[in-house]
Structures are given as structure tokens and as C-alpha cells.
Amino acid sequence: MSLFKKALNASPAYQAVKLGSKLNQQHSEQKQQKQQEQQQKVAETEDTRGNKLGSMAAIFMGGYNEHKHAVGSIVFYQKQTEFKVALSQKRSFAIPNTSITDVTFEGKDEVIQQRTITRNILLAGKSKQQAVKDTYMNIALTDGQQVTFHIKDKSPLELKAKLANVVLQVKQGKPVAMPVETTSQGSVADELTQLAKLKEQGILTETEFVAKKKQLLGL
């Protein structure tokens, strides 16, 4: 190595540039690794949740483990139903749809009567009625728990109509009784058709479908 290169390598300016280049490379590698980890986390979350089906503001009334009353939003996914509380992960929770056996809506239109007393006629008045929409959504679980949410500004009929398709898909996530194996060729064909339908509806995964198909065909 020439004296010039030795002197250049030993100079503080060159060392500073070299260090800066090394730090930039490390920063770039760390950023790329962080992006990859984030992408993997998103992929794992999407696999756990499935597609989003719908969401709405809700008040959790109780009935799920030790979680207490909270205001937040309920989000329905293909594989799980989540209750989210802003800035409070501890009070948020997720329910696997496989543990949901039923979703029901109930409530009453509360009637507020206001009596206006006129000065001329004692005890005579005019009644005014104002209906207040109030719905309680109950989610029944396989372990016997009854999770209750309070939904405002929606009557039971309105909410039931709005979430009809969502509830149907959520309930499809519950455990499915697998068809009984049979030796009849016609029955086997029927079972295969039924399995294909369950797979199309997303009730059976590809792995479960293939495994049961092989079992029916004796492979």
C-alpha cells in the first residue's frame, strides 16, 4: 500500500466517511428486516382473522371471562370476532368464531311519556311519545358464556337485518360434524359433493378437505 493510501486511510475525515457509510448500511439492513417482520406479522394476523366482515360501535356489557364493562367497537372477521377499546389493549379481546354457537338480538323500545299541564285545565295534558332504539346483541359460546353488547340507535329488527349475512358467516366458523364414512358408492359421491360445498363456503380448509376426501376414497 502506498504512503498516500496509508495516510488517507488514517485521516479522521476518511474514517468518519467510512463509519458513516457503515452506519447507513446497518440502518438500511435494520429497516429492511423491520419491514419484513412487519409484513410477516400482518400476514399472520390476516391468517388468524380472515377477511373483515363488518364493524360497529358497541358497549361491552359483560359475560366474557374477566373482562369488564367498556366502550369500544366490535369487528367481525371470518375466523374471529374482536372487541376493540381505543388505547387499551388490555380491555380488548378476541373470540374465535369456532366457539360461537349463536348470535341473537333483543331489546325494547323504551317509551318516554312527557305530560304537559295546561294552566286552564288541571291534570289535563298531552302525552308525547318518543321511541328510543336500544338493542342487546348476545353471543352464545360453546363453554356456556353469554357475551352481551349494547348497540345504540338500532332496533333489534334493524340490526338483525343489517348483520344477517355477517352472522351467517360467523356461525359457519363453528365446528362442523364431519360426514360419516360409508361404503356405498352413491353415498360416497354425495359425501364428496357435500365436502366440496363446505370447502367453497370456507367451513373446511384445503387441508381438511383433502384429508377427508382421501378417507372417503380409501386412499
Closest CA to 131 of 155, 160, 163, 150: 155
Residue-wise pLDDT tens digits, 106-138 = 986 543 344 444 444 444 444 444 456 789 999
Identity of the residue numbered 100: I
| Confidence tier at 25 by pLDDT (50, 70, 90) | confident
Residue 49 is placed in which grid cell? 382473522
Q: How confident is the model at residue 39 (pLDDT cuts 50, 70, 90)?
A: low
CB 54 within 8 A of CB 166: yes
Residue 207 CA to residue 219 CA, distance in Å, equals 15
Of the listed ranges 56-70, 109-123, 134-148, 186-200, the least confidently predicted one is 109-123
To the question of pTM greater than 0.75 for the whole model, the response is no
pLDDT above 90 covers a percentage of the chain that reads: 33
pLDDT at 76: 95
Residues 6+ apart with CB under 8 A from 173: 78, 79, 80, 96, 97, 98, 100, 203
Q: What is the pLDDT of residues 83-93, one digit of tens each?
A: 999 988 899 99
DSSP 146-197: EEEEEEES--HHHHHHHTHHHHHHHHTTS--PPPPP---HHHHHHHHHHHHH
Amino acid 9: pLDDT? 66
